[in-house]
Amino acid sequence: MKTKNFANTGEQVSELNLGTMMFGGRCDEAEADRILGLAIERGVNFIDTAAGYGNGLTEEILGRIMQGGRREKLFVTTKVNKGVDRASILSSIDESLQRMQTDFVDLYLIHWPVEGMNPTEIMGALNEVVASGKSRYVGCCNFPAWLLAHHNAIAAANGWPRLINNQIAYNIIERGVEVEIFPQAVTENIAITAYRSLVQGLLTGKYRWGQPLPENTRGQTSAQIITWLSQFGESVDRFIAFAEERDITPTTLAVAWVRHNQAVTAPIIGVSSLPQLEQALDSFDYNLSDEEYAQVTYLFDTEVKEEGLQRFPGLKYNFPRLRRNLNLVQG
Ligand SMILES: NC(=O)c1ccc[n+]([C@@H]2O[C@H](COP(=O)([O-])OP(=O)(O)OC[C@H]3O[C@@H](n4cnc5c(N)ncnc54)[C@H](OP(=O)(O)O)[C@@H]3O)[C@@H](O)[C@H]2O)c1
């Protein structure tokens, strides 16, 4: 497993970030234990969890299965539970540490922006979390670029740690983040971790439009999977064929597509069984050429097109393209 620099920290994280949201749900503790064991054996150190997963059960399971010298090998990320006021942030980190039986996490994230939140209060509380040694670094999930910049301006003005990670949904269907969040991340050295890289399993080859939803999958209950399958069924078929022509799995193609973007530090891969992890581990060696990337991207008409002038591809001042490609000098 290759590693990547984590923002400007000097830390090395594995390119596969192991998503644990299914631990304690579709994946029982014994299987979670096997998954974590194999992941570590194959060089994965980057682990993603959250206080909210299974109402704390996922963190509790991690606490037990990280015993025996595993915790020390891992770069553990967790996320604040619901409230983002000072008291909620400070109590949430304590509860997470207790559940995970660890003195600190490596990365602590605000899970979602909340209406009416107070950025100065949030950054002050995150500063306290870092100052008390309960997390080494802080970041956010699902923040628009301006909001992240606003929080980091507050951090800079007060001498507090800045947000160095934005965890966002990114895959060949959900591409809005390419327009401002990715250029910001590259310019400001913010690590992007991409969740839903496999579109909740839609791009693994097991869902086909016009065929029954496979048994024992999230597709049985996920309105998102069913909606995307109905919207992109033909594209998914061609995506699977594209992978088969290259003798790779659709999972490998989905991971390679996400990894192709230079802004991405690590795709987060959620697994609910050991065979899924085995396939994910084997998916990180395939690199798409620029030509293949363009071909596979063309299978889905999902590029963000904000302006009518998008219809004139040669036009110099095409606003979405300009915003994607500003390529400022890194500070
Ligand atoms: N920050 C946030 O707001 C946020 C939001 C969502 C998720 N996350 C994080 O991101 C992680 C991944 O998100 P996600 O689970 O929604 O999306 P995902 O990684 O795109 O999808 C994971 C699902 O894909 C299926 N899958 C994985 N490997 C497979 C394989 N080799 N063959 C067949 N199916 C396979 C499994 O579905 P089945 O279980 O149906 O088999 C698995 O549950 C989560 O675990 C969590 O850590 C963060």
Task: Give the position, in ligand 1's atom list, of the atom nearest the Cα of 197.
Answer: 20
Q: What's the confidence (pLDDT) of residue 110?
A: 98
Pocket test for ligand 1, best of 204, 216, 239, 248 (most atoms within 8 A of CB): 204
Domain spans of the chain, in order of start: 3-200+252-287
Query: Considering Cα of 14, then 16, then 21, then 26, what sign does the dihedral take?
Result: negative
What are the two backbone dihedrals, phi and then psi, of residue 104, each rounded to the nearest 5 degrees? -155, 155
Atom of ligand 1 nearest to the CA of 112: 3
Pocket test for ligand 1, best of 31, 174, 196, 216 (most atoms within 8 A of CB): 196
Q: Is 53 part of the annotated catalytic residue set?
A: yes
Average pLDDT of the residues in 267-280: 98
Ligand 1 pocket, residue 218 CB under 6 Å: yes
Token code pair at residue 171: 């895959």
Q: Above 80 in pLDDT, residue 318?
A: no
Ligand 1 within 6 A of CB of 217: yes
pLDDT score for 328:
87
3-200+252-287 CATH: 3.20.20.100
How confident is the model at residue 45, as a pLDDT?
98
Confidence band of 323 (pLDDT split at 50, 70, 90): confident
Region 305-318: what's the mean pLDDT?
68
Any ligand 1 atom below 6 A from CB of 52: no
Cβ–ligand 1 contact at 201 (below 6 Å): yes
What pLDDT score does 306 carry?
72
The pLDDT assigned to 307 comes to 65
pLDDT digits (tens, 9 = 90+) for 109-152: 999 999 999 999 999 999 999 999 999 999 999 999 999 999 99
Find the helix or strand (DSSP H, E) in which 119 lies.
helix 119-131
201 CA distance to ligand 1 centroid (A)?
A: 7
Sign of CA dihedral 250, 76, 37, 33: negative
In this prediction the pTM is 0.96
Which atom, in ligand 1's list, is nearest to the CA of 109? 1
More confident residue, 312 or 179: 179
- What is the distance in A from the centroid of ligand 1 to the CA of 95? 25
How confident is the model at residue 177, as a pLDDT? Answer: 97
SS3 166: strand
Q: Is 193 in the pocket of ligand 1 (CB under 6 A)?
A: no
CA of 22 to the centre of ligand 1 (A): 8
Mean pLDDT of 297-315: 78
The CA distance from 297 to 19, in Å, is 25
Least confident stretch, 7-21, 164-178, 299-313: 299-313
Q: Give the end-to-end CA distance of the chain in Å, rounded to a whole number.
A: 30
Name which residue sits closest to atom 47 of ligand 1, judged by CA.
19
pLDDT of residue 308: 63
For the Cβ of 181 lying below 6 angstroms from any atom of ligand 1, the answer is: no
Confidence of residue 313 (pLDDT cuts 50, 70, 90): low
**Centre of ligand 1 from the C-alpha of residue 59, in Å:** 17
Q: pLDDT band for 324, please (50, 70, 90 cuts).
A: confident
CB of 105 within 8 A of CB of 135? yes
User: How many Cα neighbours within 13 Å face the side chain of 226?
Assistant: 10
Kindly report the protein residue whose alpha carbon is nearest to atom 33 of ligand 1.
204
Mean pLDDT, residues 28-38 taken together? 98
Check pocket membership of 16 for ligand 1, CB cut-off 6 A: no
Amino acid at 39: A
